Amino acid sequence: MPKATSPADLRSNMRSLAHLAHIATTRLGAELTAVDILDPATIDYAVSITGITQRVKGVRRSVLTRLGRELNPNWPLDDLSPHYGYKAPDAPYSEQETSALYQWATGLGTDYQRHNATLLLALGLGPDSALVKQHAPCPRRGNLAGRHRHRHHSRLPGSAATHRHPAPPLGNHRV
């Protein structure tokens, strides 16, 4: 059996196989054997009727085909061509949508809310987004938009605000 590279991959492979077995037995009336379940036509049918993206369909078909080659002694094909072509994912938001989200974030009521919303947007949009490029980190504080006040940082251990005044040296000093 093909090796999964992680527990998450193993769960995903098992979920795909369970779905395939369910479709094959309930909709197609197939026997619960590797020959009947892991058949190329059964795999194609089960993958094609799901409401998942083309990319996920391609991955699922690839996993099930690999399992079929390994576990079905009567595997009839060596067709390696992709049935669900790969399409690079689209950017989730346009520049206008990103700008509207940033305006929302900067229009919140408190500095703390504005900072957190802006940080959340930067994390969600990724390092290549215009938001992150426009509002690069402030080198002194490491925050996203340097013009925000960050009084709440003084509550965080290890933050710059907690290290402004060094503690007096221990040992020979007068009380």
Distance CA 9, CA 75 (A): 23
Q: Supply 25's token pair.
A: 């037995």
Q: What is the pTM of this model?
A: 0.46
Q: Please calculate the CA angle 154-143-106 and round it to the nearest 5 degrees.
A: 105
pLDDT digits (tens, 9 = 90+) for 26-77: 999 999 999 999 998 899 899 989 888 888 888 888 889 888 888 888 887 6
CA dihedral sign of residues 21, 22, 23, 28 = positive
The C-alpha atoms of residue 103 and residue 21 are separated, in whole angstroms, by 49
Q: For the chain, which residues make up each domain, given as ranges?
A: 7-71, 95-155
Which of 6-15, 36-45, 126-135 is least confident?
126-135
Contact 7, 15 (CB under 8 A): no
